[in-house]
Structure 1
Amino acid sequence: MALIPAALTSTQRNAVARLRLAAQGLLPRIPAATLPVPAATPADVVAALGMMQAQDLPQACWGVGVRLPGAGLGAIHAALADGSVIRCWGARGTLMLIDPRLHGALLAVTAQRMNAKMAGTRAQEDITEAEIKRLAEVARERCAGTGATRAELLRAFEDSGSSIEGQRGYHLIVAVSLRGVIVQGPMEPGSETRQLFMAAGSWLPDGGQPPDAGEALATLVRGYFESHGPATVADCAWWLGLPLTPVRAAVAALDPVLGSTELGGTTYLFADQHRERWEQPPGARSVLALPGFDEFLLGYRDRSVALPEEHSQVVTPGKNGIFLRTVAAGGQIVGTWELAGAGTARAGRFVPFGPEPGEGRARQIAARIEEYLRFRNG
């Protein structure tokens, strides 16, 4: 199977993109593929997707909010405070919002590979396995109960004899997190970007214990295709940060649980209950003001069904890993949006890829951006 699927027709691209909207819970009247009814809480949204990229926490919070009409930022912060949603390092070496019940499965599948990728950096920082093991116990103790701020955790590392100079402290926190000892939970008092670190053993429903790696991979792969499909094996492998071979094997073992179809010579897998939607994919009139780093784009290795290649560098200027906020209309990314001003004077502005939209479409886009501004104040 090619890593990048062959070119699809316009009709096929639109069908795939709009089915992804439905699978991801981006069409309010249609439940996400993994939910029996529309999401009612932030935990429902995250559980439906399994995990959501979240190195930029405010953007990730809107990623939940855009799938939960009427919710405010306070509702997402409350979910982090009660542990129904957590944030941790997971796939691809980045932070994710995840369903806490998947924490053990995620680390069982991805931690070994992430640790291997970080080995060179740890060697440069003189971080040894013995030090990580020692600091895991320091973190477990310091983050028990009410948790610890990043500064408090680093101070505990330093007090135990470890250097936290430069980026060393950050790499130590990641290393300990990948051991399953700590996760990020409630917001630090007065902050919208920083969270407390909590001891996984007491904060997570299963104590953070990893399951069998094979069962964990099957759970994550099935969840990915049901919540992100139609998608390819290459998309799923990229999402998890894994080679193609184990993902292909997991897909083969799941047959016939998932639905599949071949487009442009490539197999797309999806939630079987979406099979009947191919004839009339939903979401043709949908308009969304999405956050940067949203799963609708970042959940796939190949994003061309929703974002034509000629516009990709507008969304990721300089190819530096930063994804701008986007506007999706009928499943197609038609431009970016940005904020200007502060406080009550804050406003949004749509930046189209092509000509300015007509009056009706412009009103729809403005209304979606206004929903974000209300979310920020809620």
Structure 2
Amino acid sequence: MTYQEISHHRLVSQKLLEANANSPQEIVTHLGAMQAQDYSMAKWAIGSRCDATEAAIEEAINSAQIIRTHILRPTWHFVSADDIYWMLDVSAPQVKRFTASAGKKYGYDTKKLNQANSKIEKLLAGNNHLTRDEIMQELGIKKTSSADFLSAAIMMNAELDGLVCNGRMKGKQITYALLEERVSKPKSKLTREEGIAKLALRYLESHGPATLLDFSWWSGFPPTTCKNIFNAIELQLNSIEINGQIYWIKTDSSVKNNFRESVHFLPAFDEILISYKTREASILLEHQSRAFTNNGIFKPIILENSKVIGTWKRTIKKDYAKIETDFFNETETHKKAILFEGIRAFENYLGTKIVIE
């Protein structure tokens, strides 16, 4: 198997290659967790994998079919309501080390964070959805640059404790609500080992072929933990070796050669790049600095036949959306016209005219 084949199979496993009838929640369930700090672009990460419009995806989030919260790593992710509790049980303890450290910088130890949780619970009880600024005002924390970091740590801690999650959007503002008022708590729990194994199998089904270090990066668990889990589920996995590197897939995953031409305009922070420790299968090394930075900022990307060939950005106008492109190599006009057909799905998703410049 070659890197080209690896990248193509990832299009299949990530549900990017074939049109499908999955709902937004089913897409998120399949992928396990989808990075979502850029809220607008993160919705397109879902939309690029199904036929749903932006409005339909927004409704799935507002109605708590899809939860937006901090999980896996100290950043925002979309998670299906069906997965939120077991995934929090698995990953929250490791991410809470980050919030504990951040809180201490501003005089908030575990006791004070727990006290903040108690106050937040009372504020949000009865399906009261409030913005972070509204919550901080009630907690007596003034809006300053340093308090901004403190408020983020307080709310992230509350998320990781399973107390809060995203509420309904208030205009363009994100709100918080009590998780248990949005999603019923399950009666049974997984053990830590069962939870990590479930997470690993979900990742390899939706992101494979992938390496052990890819899963370690995506999940936030150290390589030694991941190795033990891979050993425990080895009978459910197949492996492929390329240049001394082992790539894993689930045994029931198809790796037959079903290549076909494809073009995709994908959002910033899309799983097709960000969910892997190294990205040589999808983008040439000399192009990587133009697609993402060393400090973790990922741009919207253009894929041709599963390879990143450029970046793009959108600007929303009153009656249309303007699309600007930056191809890594010189591209002839007739070739661009063919590539631009890949943006039509985005036009349908937005429900507005697109102008390409």
Q: Same fold (TM over 0.5)?
A: yes
1:255 is displaced (CA, Å) by 2.0
- Report the Cα distance in structure 1 between the residues aligned to 2:228 and 2:295, rounded to whole angstroms: 33
Contact 1:86 1:100 in 2 (8 A): yes
- When the two chains are superposed, the root-mean-square deviation of aligned CA atoms in Å is 2.2
- Report the Cα distance in structure 2 between the residues aligned to 1:54 and 1:156, rounded to whole angstroms: 27
2:219 corresponding residue in structure 1: 240
1:4 corresponding residue in structure 2: none
Q: Give a deviation string over 1:248-290, Cα, whole Å, max 9, x none.
A: 111111121122222222221113233441xx143x3010000
1:342 corresponding residue in structure 2: 317
- Aligned-partner SS, 1:256: helix
- Report the Cα distance in structure 2 between the residues aligned to 1:307 and 1:55, rounded to whole angstroms: 22
- Report the Cα distance in structure 1 between the residues aligned to 2:85 and 2:189, rounded to whole angstroms: 4
1:33 corresponding residue in structure 2: none
- Report the Cα distance in structure 2 between the residues aligned to 1:357 and 1:12, rounded to whole angstroms: 28
- Report the Cα distance in structure 2 between the residues aligned to 1:68 and 1:207, rounded to whole angstroms: 28
Which of 137, 162, 183 lines up with 2:165 in the alignment? 183
Kindly indicate whether residue 290 of structure 2 is the aligned counterpart of residue 308 of structure 1.
no
* Shift in CA distance, 117/340, structure 1 to aligned 2, threshold 3 Å: closer
Which of 15, 28, 46 lines up with 2:5 in the alignment? 15
Amino acid at match of 2:337: R
- Report the Cα distance in structure 2 between the residues aligned to 1:276 and 1:332, rounded to whole angstroms: 18
- Aligned-partner SS, 1:306: coil
Contact 1:18 1:331 in 2 (8 A): yes
- Aligned-partner SS, 1:87: strand
Contact 1:101 1:205 in 2 (8 A): no
1:242 is displaced (CA, Å) by 1.4
Contact 1:259 1:275 in 2 (8 A): no
2:355 corresponding residue in structure 1: none
* Shift in CA distance, 326/342, structure 1 to aligned 2, threshold 3 Å: same
Amino acid at match of 1:12: T
Contact 2:132 2:151 in 1 (8 A): no
- Aligned-partner SS, 1:86: strand
* Shift in CA distance, 197/341, structure 1 to aligned 2, threshold 3 Å: closer
Task: Extract unaligned runs of 5+ from structure 1.
Answer: 1-10, 30-37
1:371 is displaced (CA, Å) by 2.8
Identity %: 24
- Report the Cα distance in structure 1 between the residues aligned to 2:148 and 2:98, rounded to whole angstroms: 20
Contact 1:93 1:114 in 2 (8 A): yes
1:297 is displaced (CA, Å) by 0.3
- Aligned-partner SS, 2:167: strand
1:247 is displaced (CA, Å) by 1.0
Higher mean C-alpha displacement, 138-147 vs 48-57: 138-147
* Shift in CA distance, 199/118, structure 1 to aligned 2, threshold 3 Å: closer
Amino acid at match of 1:257: Q
2:18 corresponding residue in structure 1: 28
Structure 1 segment 346-357 matched on structure 2, within 5 A: 346-357=321-332
Q: Give a deviation string over 1:185-210, Cα, whole Å, max 9, x none.
A: 3222x21xx32212112212326986
Which of 263, 288, 300 lines up with 1:287 in the alignment? 263
- Report the Cα distance in structure 2 between the residues aligned to 1:315 and 1:55, rounded to whole angstroms: 17
- Report the Cα distance in structure 2 between the residues aligned to 1:114 and 1:297, rounded to whole angstroms: 22
Greater strand share, structure number: 2
- Report the Cα distance in structure 1 between the residues aligned to 2:224 and 2:150, rounded to whole angstroms: 34
- Report the Cα distance in structure 2 between the residues aligned to 1:65 and 1:168, rounded to whole angstroms: 33
TM, length-normalised to structure 2: 0.91
- Report the Cα distance in structure 2 between the residues aligned to 1:271 and 1:306, rounded to whole angstroms: 20
Task: Extract unaligned runs of 5+ from structure 2.
Answer: 353-357
1:56 corresponding residue in structure 2: 38
- Report the Cα distance in structure 2 between the residues aligned to 1:143 and 1:336, rounded to whole angstroms: 41
Contact 2:282 2:308 in 1 (8 A): yes
- Report the Cα distance in structure 1 between the residues aligned to 2:134 and 2:164, rounded to whole angstroms: 14
Higher mean C-alpha displacement, 307-316 vs 209-218: 209-218
- Report the Cα distance in structure 2 between the residues aligned to 1:208 and 1:199, rounded to whole angstroms: 18
1:369 corresponding residue in structure 2: 343
